[in-house]
A and B are shown apart, each in its own frame.
Chain A
Amino acid sequence: MEVRAFVFKRLVLLFPILFGLLLLVFVISRVVPADPAALLAGPMAGREQVESLRHQLGLDRPLYAQFLSYLVQLGKGDLGSSLYSNRPVVEDLIARFPATMELTLVAMTLAIGLGIPLGTIAALRRNSMIDKGLTIFSVGGLSIASFWLGLMCQLFFGMYLNLLPIGGRIVGAPPTTVTGLYLLDSLITGSLGALWSSVVHLLLPGLTLSMPAIATIMRFTRSGVLDSLQRDYVLYERAMGLPERVVVVKYVLRNALNATIAQIGLIFGALLAGTVAIETVFDWPGLGLYAVSSILLFDYKAILGVTLISGITYVLVNLGVDILLVLIDPRGIRRQEA
């Protein structure tokens, strides 16, 4: 019952946040710039064009009226059209969303798959050379600019050694679209060539994107495991003669990973945002590359679209993680309320 009430409360809280998100994006587009019409018209527009656009978009009307019509437009799923391609921004976003999602999910998987074992090893071998080395590795992973790491990997593995592709999602025909995620689609349709090509193309962007996330998960796992190891139940289990492996895997990790899992929503947001730089480096046709090329063209509506869609995705993922945590361990309700 408590769980259901909590989920309900979180769902209700979603609305003010989403409303605030819309308001914030509205303020960025209409209030922050000195002349929004000039910004939306692009740098090539003459004064008459700017004025006619101002009238056409209703930018000469009072702000609250503008906000209302902006909400109505959004309600119809309309984010305006790109200045350059003239295509609706929503279509562009939908077309590019799966590429970003695939990259983010691969990076998340790598971060969890590498971060948790490495963090656990560091904690178990505390203060050893392995621990010191892993600590340096994780601090390094947090300190490195991912776009620079990507560029260096591209230079070394792509250009010098010619081992891996330096950009793009796939060579040859992409698999038949089911989910838009090439890995999944090529598995579903059983085209091994496409699968291999997708994997090879994902390797460098996935690894460089996940570097800070691997480091973060390692740090949280290490301190979580260290904390759990000092608990009385570990002393008891050891005294009972349980093998160390059982103690660690079955009891310590289960308690230690709470803090790590609670971070996953945040890490997902960081990865989603990190795609902006990584997609630029690896020419990955997702939302990040779209945002950056829109910025270079001063295509402002497209940038706002990306801002809105990342905000919404991020809010929903965090909501999902919070609810999941509570479903796994209802004691978390009190932790989250506190």
Chain B
Amino acid sequence: MNGRVSALQSLPGVGLAKKLLNRRMLRLFFRDKLTGLGTVLVLVTFFLAVAAPVLSPFPEDAYENVRVAERLQSPSAKHWFGTDRMGRDIFSRVLYGGRVTLFIALAVTLLSIAIGVPLGLVAGYYSGAIHEVIMRVADVFLAIPRIILALSLAAALGPNVPNVIVALSVSFWPRFTRIVEAETQSLRHELYIEASQSLGVSPVSILFRHIFVHTLPTIIVRGTLGIGFTILLAATLGFIGVGVSPPTPEWGLMIAESREYLPGTWWYALFPGLAIFLTVMGYILMGDSLRDAMDPRLRGIEG
């Protein structure tokens, strides 16, 4: 256990995590095996995506490439996951697909946090018109199921990576606004906030230095889970045909392409789907563990 933690400390970004999670939280975080599995999945999929150009046996297959002689081959020592309709190596494309997918999911989550959190802070801190306007606008965006809103936006914008990011963020930011607003409202009348107000601390400073810090655990938990769900949505958009366009190696798109070759070529659909499954599972397990570690209200119950 200690070995695992100290091995992690050498990684970048862990310094920040250490500030957020004190030692007791870390112990709780790594307590059970599922947490370990989640962390391993997140780190491994991230590493595979970053190192895809080095690890892929056929990096030239990631985008456009045709090898007619090797079309639709079943998995072999040369092509671990088989080949697709163009004769491209599916293993290489699944690795590159991780790059595309993780880039989209991280960008969407960060963008949604950047838009949603400040709005939530402001809406929760002030009452009256500004609160009403922000929250009613958020309600409208929440009134359309996320995938449908993303779908009609992506269809209006056209299929490429930046547009998918916009479409998925537009449907995601209100969720952060809503939870941050609720937390801010409950913190607003705390004694230390009222004390700061009476000392003449500026609202900006109160919001970001005092209230924002307290909403961070929630944002991190929701953000981690959100990365997982965004990967699923991005893959669904790709599958439907409004996500990124070919020849971009995207998991949902690869599964869509495989459909006309079923039932003969099971490997074509199987491996991209497994990649989605394992990656998403990593973020969901990690989000759950972060919540258990950070939220003391759940600690006694869930363990």
> Which residues of A are in contact with B by a Cβ distance under 8 Å?
16-17, 20-21, 23-25, 28-29, 32-33, 39, 135-136, 139-140, 142-145, 147-149, 151-152, 154-155, 159-160, 223, 226-227, 230, 269-270, 272-274, 276-277, 280, 291-292, 295-296, 300, 303-304, 306-307, 310-311, 314-315
Contact = CB atoms under 8 A, between A and B. Distances in A.
A33 B157 CA distance: 6
B140 A155 contact: no
Nearest to A149: B273
A144 B277 contact: yes
A303 B34 CA distance: 41
Greatest chain B CB density within 10 A among A148, A230, A272 is at A148
Contacts of A304: 152
B240 interface: yes
A160 B262 CA distance: 11
Given A33-B157, A143-B281, A295-B240, A148 B269 contact: yes
Contacts of A17: 136, 139-140, 143
B288 A151 contact: no
Contact of B281 (A140, A155, A310): A140
Contacts of B228: 142-143
B157 A20 contact: no
Contact of A277 (B143, B236, B263): B236
A68 B155 CA distance: 24
B276 A307 contact: no
Contacts of A280: 239-240
A276 B148 contact: yes
- Leading 5 A-B pairs by shortest Cβ distance: A20-B140, A273-B145, A148-B273, A159-B263, A143-B281
A139 B301 contact: no
Interface in B253-288: 255, 259, 262-263, 266, 269-270, 272-273, 276-278, 280-281, 284-285, 288
A306 B240 CA distance: 15
A310 B148 contact: yes
Contacts of B300: 230
A222 B168 CA distance: 30
A226 B148 contact: no
A223 B295 CA distance: 14
Given A17-B140, A21-B143, A151 B262 contact: yes
19 contacts: A17-B136, A29-B156, A32-B153, A32-B156, A32-B157, A143-B277, A143-B281, A147-B239, A148-B269, A223-B301, A273-B145, A273-B148, A274-B147, A277-B239, A295-B155, A295-B241, A295-B242, A310-B145, A311-B148
Given A32-B156, A145-B276, A151-B255, A226 B143 contact: no
B235 interface: yes
B79 to A, nearest CB: 20
Contacts of B143: 17, 20-21, 311, 314-315
A278 to B, nearest CB: 10
Interface in B224-257: 228, 232, 235-236, 239-242, 252, 255
A32 B166 CA distance: 11
A295 B238 CA distance: 12
Given A23-B140, A32-B156, A277-B236, 9 more contacts: A143-B281, A147-B239, A151-B259, A155-B262, A155-B266, A159-B262, A276-B148, A277-B240, A307-B151
A276 B151 contact: yes
B137 interface: yes
Contacts of B232: 143, 145
A155 B273 CA distance: 14
B144 A310 contact: yes
A28 B236 contact: no
A82 to B, nearest CB: 15
Given A273-B146, A276-B236, A20 B139 contact: yes
Contacts of A39: 156
A125 B281 CA distance: 23
B149 interface: yes
Contacts of B190: none
Contacts of A139: 34, 281, 284-285, 288
A266 B260 CA distance: 34
Interface in B37-64: none
A41 to B, nearest CB: 14
A303 B152 contact: yes
B141 A24 contact: yes
Nearest to B229: A142
Contacts of A135: 34
A150 to B, nearest CB: 10
Nearest to B297: A227
A311 B149 CA distance: 9
Contacts of A272: 145
Nearest to B154: A295
Given A24-B141, A145-B252, A160 B273 contact: no
B298 interface: yes
A29 B153 CA distance: 9
A66 B136 CA distance: 23
Contacts of B145: 269-270, 272-273, 310-311, 314
A135 B285 CA distance: 10
Interface in B91-149: 136-137, 139-141, 143-149
Contacts of A136: 34
B284 A142 contact: yes
Given A20-B136, A145-B232, A307-B149, A276 B240 contact: yes
Nearest to B251: A145
Contacts of A155: 262-263, 266, 269
Nearest to A296: B241
A28 B156 contact: yes
A282 to B, nearest CB: 12
Contact of A152 (B137, B144, B269, B284): B269
